[in-house]
A = this chain, B = another copy of it.
């Protein structure tokens, strides 16, 4: 049975109220996986999701890990002659601070101008829920469908997937599939379909410089003791050379260069005016010798994601703080090994830190970059579904961002792997006022619906 767009649309329209009631319920869970204060909400969110998966007809279970549980479900009626599709999502979200910059509370979804505003509205609850809604519709409308579907929804995408990784090692056999769709990616602009053919890896770490036991008075001690804030800014400033390249020795050793031909497959346009209008950007850090997209897609970067030392609140506090901290991450490209890059960074920081001061460094997590192949049949199938929904030719992207678990998932499942989705770069994911368009929610639903239909092989 083939499910055409009008049938999917009709189902969506007649279930609209229920769909959005459930979607907003999902958004209301404060599932900030990285913050222990949200532990209970994160678990409640997992339990709620499990229940919904069962309700729509999946056999599903919650697998405990060292951190947040993995939800795994399957609906396999296709037998050995039909291919198996594995879907990936995550139910954890990023922290919400600075809270004061949110127009409406992050866990009270609010619709303004056709967009739903909430933490996770796009990343990844929005994209997860249009997938679940499409599964729901598909299983209701195509009852007799012979299809093999599996889904994994993890709770640690934003915090390194340590427990999920363990789950893959122990229960990886469950995930065996032909195709894997990681629906956590985006499109270059509204209405333009796109498949992400690769994504950068990540390595994140924390460095703390400590000197005195406690904060000291900057008059009584200024001129005597080394201020950890000063030590930290001087140390971190050395991470880049005068050209703006990462100055850590051997940082770029394994980075592959791309030919013009290779790059020609990908969407590489960058509209600076549009970028400035969207993000208010004023200053750039594009790697010398590369275009903005090249610098973002195929070059590794290093960012200070957080820095804190002493008192930076209202008023003024004349202290020399006891310690200063920096949270640092790198985006990695294919062939860069997170462990090796971490070692090189640690070596550099230790060598360059001022004499005597305590430097402690700890790794959060690392995941290599991932690259898909144009040869996999799933590429054409997905492109066709996208093109039917949006009426435009599909484009191909590389992602500057990372989905840390994808490499391990591809390996465990043995599946040809693609990242797709309906994110836009100004959805404010990881930032205040995250939002997702209700139009894109519906387009996502239709696209996944068409992919599921195509998999039955009878359209």
Contact = CB atoms under 8 A, between A and B. Distances in A.
Interface of A: 34-36, 94-95, 97-98, 101, 159-160, 199-200, 202, 204, 206, 210-227, 229-234, 236-238, 240, 270, 275, 279-287, 292, 295-297, 299, 301, 303-321, 324-327, 329, 331, 354-358, 364, 399-402, 425, 428-433
A159 B318 CA distance: 10
A296 B224 contact: yes
Given A237-B234, A431-B319, A223 B400 contact: yes
Contacts of A319: 305-306, 430-431
B315 A307 contact: no
Contacts of A284: 224-226, 356
A5 B218 CA distance: 36
Contacts of A202: 219, 318
Contacts of A204: 316, 318
30 contacts: A94-B318, A95-B311, A95-B317, A98-B215, A101-B214, A160-B316, A204-B318, A216-B430, A217-B431, A219-B400, A221-B400, A222-B400, A223-B295, A224-B270, A224-B285, A224-B295, A224-B400, A226-B284, A229-B304, A232-B307, A236-B237, A283-B356, A304-B310, A305-B311, A306-B312, A306-B321, A308-B312, A310-B327, A316-B329, A317-B327
B310 A34 contact: no
Contacts of A364: 316
B317 A281 contact: no
Contact of A318 (B213, B321, B329): B329
Contacts of A236: 230, 233, 237
> 10 shortest A-B CB distances, which residue pairs?
A219-B401, A34-B315, A213-B280, A237-B237, A308-B312, A283-B356, A306-B312, A223-B295, A229-B304, A283-B357
B318 A229 contact: no
Given A214-B428, A296-B221, A355 B283 contact: yes
Nearest to A433: B214
Nearest to A428: B214
A164 to B, nearest CB: 16
A354 B430 CA distance: 25
A226 B285 contact: yes
A216 B432 CA distance: 9
Contact of A314 (B35, B98, B295, B399): B35
Given A223-B331, A231-B283, A283-B354, A307 B306 contact: no
Given A214-B431, A233-B237, A315 B159 contact: yes
Given A312-B306, A312-B325, A317-B34, A331 B219 contact: yes
A401 B220 contact: yes
Contacts of A303: 218, 222, 227, 229-230, 318, 320
Contacts of A318: 94, 202, 204, 303, 305, 329, 430
A185 B286 CA distance: 52
- Residue among A275, A317, A358, A400 facing the most chain B CB atoms (10 A cut-off): A317
A304 B355 contact: no
Nearest to A215: B431
A320 B429 CA distance: 12
A165 to B, nearest CB: 16
Given A316-B204, A331-B218, A232 B230 contact: no
A317 B342 CA distance: 18
Contacts of A224: 270, 275, 281, 284-286, 292, 295-296, 400
Given A202-B219, A216-B431, A217-B429, 13 more contacts: A159-B315, A210-B282, A218-B331, A222-B296, A223-B295, A223-B400, A224-B292, A227-B303, A229-B303, A233-B237, A284-B356, A305-B311, A307-B324
A282 to B, nearest CB: 5
A51 to B, nearest CB: 27
